[in-house]
């Protein structure tokens, strides 16, 4: 029997590729080329499945051009690159990689918070430029982390990890906003109290965004939201680009209407709004919150596990949609197509 054909859209760990090659007719992206939408569609037309990395858009137009496709396994916890309604309508399964990156991403979120509040990037650039000639009592004074109020927008696994670090490690008062309030036991574990978003923005000394991206969260933090924050507050985004209106944030930073920001994600990345590049009071990193060797390997392995389980008829481990056709019907159709 012919093995399923799988496209790997970007370079991933060789050990995962070797494992996939034992199960599938594999087409890797060995050069880690960034394909145009047209190139991606052309390469995908004769494939049964694809391992994506969050950068490849899967929507109705692409699916219509790739009728053989049965599963898209995202190597990311977010899946805003998937049009899940279109995928379900076409009988295509989507999966993601939750859980395996929670603690690593929470570590980075807190690191970015600390670098932002304590002006680490700004002061390092000052030192490297040769401008540091003497000590001053007010030189690069930032904002305290310990004992301050931490506001978390999006209290899923990663948000809870950041809350625990803040409450238990730094004695922070933690407030959060979420679509639904957490149960009392989880709130107690995180030492966190729910607030309406406007009240959180007005109260918090440090705001961290961990909310999933959707139409509802697009530009959740816009000029009006930024105006509600304290002028001494910091904003950190490790969620997705588009949750923050980058142009409005750049203006607020330039005018010092908030103290500083730390951003790991951007609208239209890898392009960064030029206004953000022009202000000193922002820490910028290239979407690396989950970037440790162990975690990226675990993400690749879970994406591979989803592909293997799906084509073995066991169903995906971490589905993000419910295809209209059952897995056994999809398998039968794939066989019939040959």
CA 216, CA 1: separation in Å to the nearest integer? 45
Give the residue numbers annotated as catalytic, written as ranges. 240, 269, 287
Q: Which among 158, 143, 120, 182 is positioned nearest to 239, based on CA atoms? A: 158
First-to-last alpha carbon distance for the chain, in angstroms, is 10
Beta-sheet strand order (sheet of 5-8): 25-27, 5-8, 49-52, 71-74, 93-95
Burial class (CB in 10 A: 0-12, 13-18, 19+), 195: middle
Determine contact, residues 250/279, Cβ cutoff 8 Å: yes
Q: Which helix (H) or strand (E) holds 284?
A: strand 282-284
How is residue 2 annotated by DSSP?
P
User: What are the backbone dihedrals phi and psi of residue 267, each rounded to the nearest 5 degrees, phi first?
Assistant: -65, 130
| Token reading at 85 | 């309604």
Rounding to the nearest 10 degrees, give the CA dihedral for residues 134, 122, 209, 143.
Answer: 20
Q: DSSP strand E in 33-148: where? A: 49-52, 71-74, 93-95
């Amino acid at each position: 029997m012919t093995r399923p054909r799988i496209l790997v859209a970007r370079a991933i760990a060789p050990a995962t590729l070797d494992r996939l090659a034992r199960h599938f007719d594999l087409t890797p992206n060995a050069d880690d080329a960034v394909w145009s939408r047209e190139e991606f569609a052309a390469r995908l037309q004769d494939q049964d499945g694809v391992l994506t990395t969050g950068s490849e858009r899967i929507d109705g137009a692409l699916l219509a051009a790739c009728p053989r496709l049965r599963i898209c396994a995202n190597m990311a916890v977010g899946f805003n690159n998937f049009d899940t309604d279109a995928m379900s309508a076409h009988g295509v399964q989507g999966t993601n990689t939750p859980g395996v990156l929670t603690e690593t991403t929470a570590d980075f979120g807190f690191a970015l918070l600390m670098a932002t509040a304590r002006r680490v990037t700004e002061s390092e650039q000052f030192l490297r430029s040769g401008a540091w000639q003497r000590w001053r009592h007010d030189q690069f004074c930032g904002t305290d982390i310990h004992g301050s109020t931490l506001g978390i927008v999006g209290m899923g696994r990663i948000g809870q990890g950041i809350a625990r670090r803040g409450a238990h490690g730094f004695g922070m008062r933690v407030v959060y906003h979420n679509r639904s309030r957490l149960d009392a036991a989880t709130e107690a574990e995180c030492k966190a109290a729910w607030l309406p978003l406007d009240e959180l923005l007005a109260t918090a000394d440090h705001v961290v965004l961990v909310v999933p991206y959707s139409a509802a969260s697009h530009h959740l933090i816009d000029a009006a939201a930024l105006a509600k924050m304290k002028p001494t507050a910091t904003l950190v985004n490790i969620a997705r680009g588009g949750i923050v209106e980058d142009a409005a944030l750049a203006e607020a930073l330039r005018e010092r209407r908030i103290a500083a920001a730390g951003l790991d994600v951007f609208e239209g990345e890898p392009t960064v709004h030029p206004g953000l590049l022009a202000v000193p009071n922002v820490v910028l990193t290239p979407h690396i919150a989950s970037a440790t060797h162990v975690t990226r390997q675990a993400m690749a392995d879970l994406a591979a596990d989803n592909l293997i389980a799906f084509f073995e008829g066991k169903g995906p481990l971490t589905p993000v949609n419910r295809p209209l056709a059952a897995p056994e019907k999809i398998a039968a159709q794939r066989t019939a197509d040959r």
